[in-house]
Structure 1
Amino acid sequence: MATGFDQSRLDRIGTWMDRYVAERKYAGSSVLIQRGGEEVYFNATGKRSVEQDLPFERDTVARIYSMTKPITSVAIMMLAERGLFHLDAPVSNFIPAFKDMQALVPNADRIDQVEPSQAPTLHQLLTHTSGLSYPFNPGVLAREMDEQDILFKPNQGSLAAMADRVATLPLAFQPGTRWEYSVSTDILGRVVEVVSGRSLAEFFAEEIFAPLGMTETAFSVSQKQFPRFSSLYTPLAGDAMALNEASSGGDTLRMVDKPGSSPFEHADMYSGGGGLIGTIDDYMKFVEMLRRGGTFDGGRLLSPETLRFMMRNHLPGDIASMGPQSFAEQPMEGMGFGLGGAVVLDPARARCPGHVGDFSWGGMASTFFWMDPVADMSVVFFTQLSPSSSYPSRAELKALVHGALIV
């Protein structure tokens, strides 16, 4: 028994991971668990490249996509702690293109059916209640974003220009009235640039990655990382991100991005919503910073009070009560949303073992983390399969971990 875990039950995690590989659901994956700052479990299995027969290892470099969002949210709160703005400030204070906004009227079926709207606030952007959307969501705005290819991809140019393009479209709804997963955090990344006077890549590197010792996390794959960079797979026949047109293909592991031709090797877009690559140990340093109240290895990013504030539920109820119409990779009942991640309000309603206050988020390539303040535990899961809604691996992993936790 290690730190309150039953070792034989922890070993079930490896069996589960191997089964996903054997069934060609995931090419490879890794899991890292720490409790009280002590490592209690690590396992890696399968391949980072099926075609080249290269193993998925501890130092494999992966696309973390939306697990970038909590990092951008921390950056915003670091600037807020310096008194540079208040969270109720409208985003138009920082990005003038968001002045004179419009929103779609209720039940609109055309992009030109609009009414005047306030600009979203920073708080509404942090909580995905801004009225923005994603191209892979259902709805009128999402379809227009899809047609205009507004997704903040690594090779789509400057963050400033893309943020201004988002501002030319109407909001999907009046800010604050609904919850919809969106490019809100990309817009916040641009706010970080405007307020700090630095690119998002520079701010992350200097203010977050350096203090935490996250030497393997960036927007572009470095030369030294290139041999360890994983391929990305999808079970879909079409675009791995085009969820509105998703159809199953004959191959459950169809490669869609690989070393040598990946836009992540020379990113010119610094996407605060989904642009980072990194290793599992690097991301664990970030999660441990959350668990330890804003500090890791001597580097303090935030105060414990600010972290507690971020990891509270900032919605009136759970996500489900706010009429979400977005892409979902986990239940929204019993789940609230803080600043940059989901918060468990009721494990029973969320239909997954855990504790009230668990803070988590994942990425489109099926990566996932959660920080459990009750069990004093941090868990990070890495793999490379898009979309993340393909399999219920997150709920299964949570059940496995809590099934092994006996003290």
Structure 2
Amino acid sequence: MGREDRQKQGMSCERLERIGHFVDDNYIAPGKLAGALTQVWRRGELALSSVLGLADRERQVPLAEDSIFRIYSMTKPVTSVAVMMLVEECKIALDDPVSKYIAAWEKLGVYAGGFMESFQTRSPARPMLVVDLLRHTSGLTYAFQQNTNVDAAYRKLKVGELPPEGTLEEMIEKLATLPLEFSPGEAWNYSVSTDVLGYLVGKVSGMPFEVFLKERIFDPLGMADTAFHVPEEKVSRFCACYAAGPLASKAASEQGLTLMDDARTSRYLRQPAFVSGGAGLVSTAADYMRFARMLLQGGELDGVRLLSPKTLALMTANHLPGGLDLPRVSRSMYTEATYEGVGFGLGFGTTMAPAATLLPGSAGDFFWGGAASTFFWVDPREDLIVLFLTQLLPSSAYALRRQLRTLVYSAITESGA
């Protein structure tokens, strides 16, 4: 076979095949992952689709291309796109104070001492703005951070936990009683900010948040399997979710995995009371790839335009204070990545300086992942999308995301730069 026959969209076929072999040999065969789906999209075509292992280990159900996954925080880019659609319509602005839409938040203070029953606060240097929610500079936090007295109060009130309790509206009310970790705009802290954005979408659009996503994003893009729950007719395609490391119980199997959420009894089989714009969606490879292709193409796919290319350029620029990268302004590192050379935009991480990351990539590529080790990135310079789906908590269990970047970029033979 000639050399030209072993190239696909400017990528080496042998090196693309190496990706599946690596995942199988190092993660599926040793039992570190039950199953994994990897897709590489380049130059308008699917260059790789690797489907390995099981969707449900207990029932020995093979993983399939149409398997349904919990995407957790890969919900955040979807919610952020919804917000920016409303920004384009001038129904909300990035520099609007959040209190314009949540009046009870007008007097939120910044933590200055004490515990939940006796918090001492000070006035913030400026109000929280909508842009702070998009870039996680709001001063809000997550219950799982376990760093401060404020996140301890989140745990006590069950704010921002997985699975979420109560309703989104109840969370908004509880947050009105808690101090901020810092004055908005001063630092980056991964938080319930995107859940708050979902609340704002519902309030500004005049329709329930989940309805807005379905009517304005999912249906137009043909994302038929993306939703906040799995209907009965699709349960056979739903993956089980597993845990490793500290999250796994002492009764973990010899394969090193503990079943955390059975696909046949999961809470995802019911409509949720709490509609989480930060972590609530399930999706498939085909659906999320369509969403990512829309992003790659500047907000349009198959004649459906959700956003302007200029809006996408704004979203994928670094918006961190002072133009710094995450390690310089972050109050919370939460995955295996160090994020040197990485900034944060309006819903995505974005690569500022590839050399600082010690990984191949491009300035301006953007990405995010989910708690169950799912991950995607879009590289406009290389006309590239990579999507990795599995179901393993926590996402920091293995360095697979970094390894996947190395494997994919190593397969490129014709650079688009």
The equivalent position to 2:13 in structure 1, one of 7, 10, 29, is: 7
Once the two structures are superposed, the pairs formed by residues 2-81 of structure 1 within 5 Å of their partners are 2-19=8-25, 20-81=27-88
Once the two structures are superposed, the pairs formed by residues 2-401 of structure 1 within 5 Å of their partners are 2-19=8-25, 20-105=27-112, 108=113, 110-111=115-116, 112-117=119-124, 118-137=126-145, 138-151=147-160, 153=162, 156-236=165-245, 238=247, 250-251=252-253, 252-266=256-270, 267-315=272-320, 316-401=323-408
Distance of 1:228 and 1:259 partners within structure 2? 9
Contact 2:142 2:161 in 1 (8 A): no
SS in 1 for 2:85: helix
* 1:368–1:249 distance in 2 versus 1, CA, 3 Å: farther
- 5+ residue gaps, structure 2, are 1-6
Number of residue equivalences:
398
Q: Please, what is the CA RMSD of the aligned residues?
A: 1.6
| Superposed displacement of residue 268, structure 1 | 2.1
* TM-score, length of structure 1 as denominator length: 0.94
Distance of 1:144 and 1:331 partners within structure 2? 27
Contact 2:245 2:397 in 1 (8 A): no
Deviations 1:235-290 (A, max 9, x none): 1454x7xxxxxx88754210010123211111221100000001011000000000
Amino acid at match of 1:377: L
Deviations 1:56-81 (A, max 9, x none): 11111000000000000000000000
* Stretch of structure 1 that moved more, 396-405 or 149-158: 149-158
Deviations 1:186-206 (A, max 9, x none): 000000000011111100000
* TM-score, length of structure 2 as denominator length: 0.92
- 5+ residue gaps, structure 1, are 241-246
Distance of 1:304 and 1:68 partners within structure 2? 21
Amino acid at match of 1:132: L
Amino acid at match of 2:138: S
SS in 1 for 2:275: coil
Contact 2:158 2:164 in 1 (8 A): no
Contact 1:337 1:343 in 2 (8 A): yes
Amino acid at match of 1:253: L
Amino acid at match of 2:52: T
